[in-house]
Structure 1
Amino acid sequence: MTEAEWLAATEPRGVLESWSQPTSERKIRLFCCACCRRIWPLITAPESRKAVEVSEALADGRAREGRRAAANLAATAVARRERSWPFAAAEEASKRLIRAYRKSPALATWAARTAYYAHEAAYLGTYYAVGTNDRAAFDSGNVARQAEQAAQIALLRDIFGNPFRPVPFSPSWRTDTVLALARRVYESRDFSAMPILADALQDAGCDSPDVLAHCRDPQGTHVRGCWVVDLVLEKE
C-alpha cells in the first residue's frame, strides 16, 4: 500500500488486505463498529447490537474478557440461525466485532471481512427491498454497495488520517476548553461541534492546516476514533 493508493482508494477491502502501516486494535475495532453502526437497521437482534456496544467498550478498556466471550457466543448463535440474507450478512458483521485480535496482519484482515459483510448487507437489503428479481434490483443493490464502500473509505480516513504523513501535535494545544470539547464529542458521538473544536484549537495556538481542515470540512465524516479527537485525547 502506497500513499497514492491510499488517497485514490474507493473501497476498503483492497486497502485493508494490503495494509502495512502500524495500527492498534482499538482503532481497527472502532472502524469495524462504525461500519456496523452504518447498517444499524439491519442489525436487528439484541445480541448482535450488544456485540457492537461491547466491542466499543473493549476499545476503550471498559469491558473484560468474560464479557467479550459471552457477547461473542450470543452474537455467533444469532448469526448461525438467521435465515434472511440481508440480516444474516449484518449479523455476521456484528458477530465478527467481538473477536479478540491483537496483532497485524490479523487486525487488518478482520477489518476487511467485517467491512465486506457490512457492505454486502447494504447491497442485499436494497436488492430485496426493490421486491423484484431482475436487473433493477441488481442495479439498485450495486448502487447501495458502492455507496457503503465509499462511506467505509471515509471512515478509514477519519480514523487513520493519512498514515503516510503523521501530523505533529503540540501538548500546548490541549487546553481545558479543547479537552472538554473533544471529550464531549467522543462520548456523545455527536460530532457537530468539530468546527467549534477547530476554533478552540486555533485559539490554543494550533496552526496545523491538516488538523483544522479536518475539523472544519463540511462534508467530513467523524466517528469514534477520529484521528484529530484521538490526538487531543492522547488515544492510540
Structure 2
Amino acid sequence: MTYADTTHDVRDPELPGRLLTTERDALIPLLRARPDDDFALATLACPGWTVRDVLAHCAAALTRVVEGRFEQGGFSPEANDRDIAERADWTNARVLDELERGMTEAGAAIARAGGALDGVALGEWVHSGDVRDALGAPGAYGGQGLGSALTLLARVTGQKGHQLLHADLDDRDDPLRLGDASGGLTPARYIGDAAMLVRLYAGRPVPGGVTYELAGAKAEDLNIFG
C-alpha cells in the first residue's frame, strides 16, 4: 500500500491561509447566530476556558501574526491569558469581528514566514473544533477544511520529528503518512476516521462511542501541542 507523504512535498505557502478562510466562512456565521449565553459555555478541550475565551485567544493570536507582534512571551500561556483579559470588556460581536479579520488577513503573513507559522493556522483550526465541540455543533475537527488540515498536520509532525505513523482513514480515500522516519522508531499504525486522528494529535478528549485502532504508539505520544 502506498501512503500519501505530505511531509516532504514542496510547501504550498497559500495553504494555511486557505484553511483559515475556509473555516472563517463556516464558523463566523454559525457563531453570529448563537445567543450570548453560548459564549459562556465551558470547553472540554481547554479546561478553564469558555467558548468566548477560546475565541478571544484565537482572535488575539491572529492579530499578533498580522501585526508581527511576538514579543512579551509570544504565544506563551501567560501571553494567552493576558490577551483574553484584555478583551474581557469587549462584546461578543467585537471578539468575532477581530477573529474574522484575523482569519481573513493572517494567511498572507503566514505565507511570508516560510513555514515557521504554518502551525498557527492548524492550531486555529483545531480551536475552531474545540468551539464546535462545546456548542454541540457539527463538523468538529472536520468539515471542508479537513483535507488542508491533514496536509498541515503531516508537515508539522514531520518538522517536529514525531514518530512515523501510517494512517488508514475510514473516511478518506488515500492513506496518510505522518511524522518522520529519521528517528529510528518502528512506524506506528492508525485505523479510524480522520477527525479522531486530529483529536489524538491535538490532545483533545475522545468522545464516547468512538472507536479506533492505534498500534506501536500511545495516544499521548502523538500530541503536538503538549
Do these two structures clear the TM 0.5 threshold for a shared fold by scoring above it?
no
TM-score normalised over the length of structure 2 = 0.35
Please, what TM-score do these two structures have when normalized by structure 1? Answer: 0.34
More strand by share: 2
Q: More helix by proportion, 1 or 2?
A: 1
